[in-house]
């Protein structure tokens, strides 16, 4: 009897055709205000990231490793915000917050891929800054254009495969429910709905966590330990130059880690005591603030990008 009941539950759960996003709430008269605020943020993200991408691509003086990695970072942010914001805008205007299962898994893929590429790109950028500051004379021989393109390609390709495996393990799981208490689809939330053994998912999740979070974090800590060591031993000019190139990267890294930490805490712990609006804002932080923060931070702190952005906006040639 018990075995038959389990099989029946699995058969019924496999018929989940859509998910309900339970974190949305009725904003009443503020619906359109919310819509226009979020749309304005999205437009600002698209314009600021596009501007920096165009400036880096069109200006030959910016075809250096640091700026090429930055270009990859901004392309990822443009992609990441585009996977979320149009969907968010549509959901705000809807009365029923449901999403078809295939589209839900597509969204999980896009958002997870964005997060992984962002962090690994920041890790690669820390390695680039380490070579530039600790080995200035050998920098161009150690970080060639070929090496830059290989690192960028490997980052995007390997993480694509890693996230595809993650989705392929989650998608076939028989589910005992279809309500996700978030404003977008999340892989961990899907796995928690499973009424079947998820040991394989958990093991793969731990392996992925080690390879994509722990190892890059170790690389970042090592590179900045060496960078700070050089800074403390070097001249005032060396320290100033290192700070100018590392400050935007460190700020970006801390901002992203801050947002992702909120997401991990919210997934792993009971946050029912936290107001729903606060939980929504925190869960969207790494997807909204990071793509808005980076172009502004790098634009303000890096004089080359700042001056060329001004020229582009004023319609002057930047070749």
pTM: 0.88
H or E element: which one contains 213? none
Q: What CA–CA distance (Å, rounded) separates 2 from 140?
A: 67
Measuring CA to CA, which residue among 280, 278, 109 is closest to residue 185? 109
Contact 26, 188 (CB under 8 A): no
Q: What CA–CA distance (Å, rounded) separates 105 from 79?
A: 17
Contact 85, 43 (CB under 8 A): no
For the domain made up of 18-313, the CATH class stated in words is mainly alpha
Per-residue pLDDT of the chain in tens (319 residues, 90 and over written 9): 444 444 444 444 455 788 988 888 777 777 888 899 999 999 999 998 998 898 888 888 888 999 999 999 999 999 999 999 999 999 888 888 889 999 999 999 999 999 999 999 999 999 999 998 888 889 999 999 999 999 999 999 999 999 999 999 999 988 888 888 888 999 988 988 888 888 899 899 889 989 988 999 999 999 999 988 888 777 777 777 777 778 888 889 999 998 888 888 887 777 777 787 888 888 888 889 999 989 888 876 777 777 777 776 666 655 4
Contact 123, 216 (CB under 8 A): yes
């Amino acid at each position: 009897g018990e075995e038959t009941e389990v099989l029946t539950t699995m058969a019924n759960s496999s018929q989940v055709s859509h998910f309900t996003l339970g974190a949305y709430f009725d904003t009443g008269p503020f619906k359109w205000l919310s819509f226009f605020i979020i749309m304005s943020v999205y437009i600002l993200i698209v314009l600021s990231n596009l501007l920096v991408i165009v400036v880096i691509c069109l200006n030959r003086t910016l075809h250096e490793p640091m700026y090429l990695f930055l270009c990859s970072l901004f392309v990822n942010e443009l992609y990441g915000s585009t996977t979320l914001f149009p969907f968010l805008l549509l959901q705000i205007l809807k009365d029923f917050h449901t999403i078809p299962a295939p589209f839900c898994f597509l969204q999980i893929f896009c958002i997870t891929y964005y997060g992984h590429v962002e962090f690994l790109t920041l890790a690669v950028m820390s390695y680039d800054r380490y070579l530039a500051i600790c080995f200035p004379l050998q920098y161009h021989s150690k970080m060639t254009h070929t090496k830059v393109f290989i690192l960028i390609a490997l980052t995007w390709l390997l993480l694509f495969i890693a996230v595809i495996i993650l989705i392929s393990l989650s998608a076939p799981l028989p589910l005992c429910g279809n309500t996700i208490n978030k404003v977008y689809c999340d892989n961990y939330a899907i796995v928690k709905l499973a009424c079947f053994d998820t040991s394989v998912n958990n093991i793969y999740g731990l392996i992925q966590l080690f390879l994509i979070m722990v190892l890059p974090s170790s690389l970042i800590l090592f590179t900045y330990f060496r960078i700070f060591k050089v800074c403390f031993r070097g001249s005032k000019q060396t320290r100033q130059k290192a700070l100018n190139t590392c400050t935007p990267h460190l700020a970006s890294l801390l901002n992203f880690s801050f947002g992702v930490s909120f997401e991990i805490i919210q997934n792993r712990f009971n946050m029912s005591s936290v107001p729903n609006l606060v939980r929504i804002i925190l869960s969207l932080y790494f997807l909204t603030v990071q793509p808005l923060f980076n172009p502004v931070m790098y634009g303000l702190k890096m004089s080359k990008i700042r001056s060329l952005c001004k020229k582009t906006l004023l319609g002057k040639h930047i070749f």
